Amino acid sequence: MTSPPKSEFLRFASLPQERVWGGRALETKLGRALPPGDRPFGESWEIVDRPEAQSVVIGGQFAGLTLRELMEKHSAAVMGPRWPAGKPFPLLVKWLDCRERLSLQVHPPAAVAAKLGGEPKTENWFVAAAAPDAHLIVGLKPGVTRAQFEAAVAAGRAEDCVNRFPVAAGDSVLVRSGTVHAIDGGNLILEIQQNSDTTYRVDDWSRVGLDGKPRQLHLAESLQSILWDAAPPRVVKAARKHSSAFARAMFGNGPSELAALIEFSIRRVSVTAGETLRTANLGGGKQARILSLIEGRLSSTSGEVQRGDNVLLPYSGQFTFTAMEDSLVLVTNNFGRNTAQRLLFRLACLLNTGKTDDRTEGFGDRSLLLLSVVALSLAPLRAIGAYSHGPQIFLMLGDYGMLGGATCCLLSMLEMIHLKRTRRRFYAAVIGGAAALLWFAFYAMGK
């Protein structure tokens, strides 16, 4: 079994897809080769391993092989030694040129998908470019019931029941399976999703398809798939630059973690011209990753990565990229977790939210750091309660400080070992440990 060279990433030929709501921005903005004419192309499938579509490697040792052939013959080199040979690649990466609004739709959660003969599909949208009035539709308005929604759809007023909000270039939204959604016109979006093509249309806004006929709707399947108690969508806004070095060290250029799921994680990385980006510094240990270049240009010994490129960095590789100009990169990883890692992630979800379904997220960098700081501030209350014989609440809060500090310390260390090491998680471990030690000191003095 042949392994790719240690610094050779995998580049694939894009697969353009005609869509009635698409345009030609894939050609004009991303340089994708589209058939001549004015036919609308709404999608470009960048990395795909499906029966109906296969990515083909461009250049390098594996030139001409499909992603399916890589998974069958070289899975250990691409995904790691624990990945079963022949198991499909778990993600689908695509560009979306939304000249017009997409249909209002939903993808079934895992439990429902099995009953309906479909596949679950959680996806993340990163807005690479947006018109001034661009909007997204994600989720239902608070309090909307199934009966209300069904009646609104029947009356042609489905839009009255959904969350519609403005977006700008650089914004990112996670859309979990079971969430009703649509993309308004004027958006150029990079979509990173589970390997699925199951979509149930709720409403197509009285539009006809490319054949001149109304497109099929799937109202019965949609109503079974929608999670009526789903939380409102969280929009991760575009990165911002901090003026001080301290602020950059503590907070970075805005939230860097865009998604943290059992299916995949996505991280946003800004690289200034001349800086290097090494996979060893991206956290999460040795694993396969997808590098998506939103803006800028990167160079490496394996070739250049241009704006709009999505390349696969195999498990067996070690990569160093140099930014030829200021660049914005998305790094997708944790899509090849083994059983032990998945169990650990579900345990973290259970401790954090009390749930282990496909709607939960792991602990975020910011939440761990905030909780550890709160725990440190509560720990001294143990001493105040012991020495002043004050209200019992001081002792209780002090005890919560110890418990919270120790928990933050342990969870931070576990996540740095098994998921990824970040500066904030390191700080959370140190501050949480200090809170626990401080509690012990005050407890001993109080005795």
What size, in residues, is the chain? 447
Residue type, 245: A
* Pair 122, 194: CB distance under 8 Å: yes
Distance of CA 138 to the CA centre of its chain: 15
Type of residue found at 157: R
Beta strands, E only, 288-352: 289-300, 303-305, 310-313, 320-333
The strand pairing partners of 278, in sequence order, are 320
Residue 117 gets the label, from left (phi > 0), alpha (psi -120 to 50) or beta, of left
Let me know if 201 is a catalytic residue: yes
- Could you tell me which residues come within 8 angstroms of residue 177 by beta carbon, excluding any fewer than 6 positions away? 107, 108, 109, 110, 113, 120, 121, 122, 194, 225, 358
The dihedrals phi and psi of 187, each to the nearest 5 degrees, come to -115, 135
CA pair distance 90, 255, nearest whole angstrom: 25
Distance between CA 379 and CA 376 in Å, rounded? 5
Give the single-character DSSP code of 193: E
**Residue 428 falls in which region: left (phi positive, over 0), alpha (psi -120 to 50) or beta:** alpha
Rounded CA gap, 265 and 197, in Å?
20
CB atoms within 10 A of CB 367: 15
Cβ count near 247 (within 10 Å): 12
- Active-site pick, 68, 201, 267, 337: 201
d(Cα 375, Cα 310) in Å, to the nearest integer? 41
What is the rounded distance in angstroms from the CA atom of residue 337 to the CA atom of residue 339?
Answer: 7
The identity of residue 305, as a single letter, is V
Q: Is the dihedral of CA 189, 103, 110, 348 positive or negative?
A: positive
The residues that are catalytic are 201
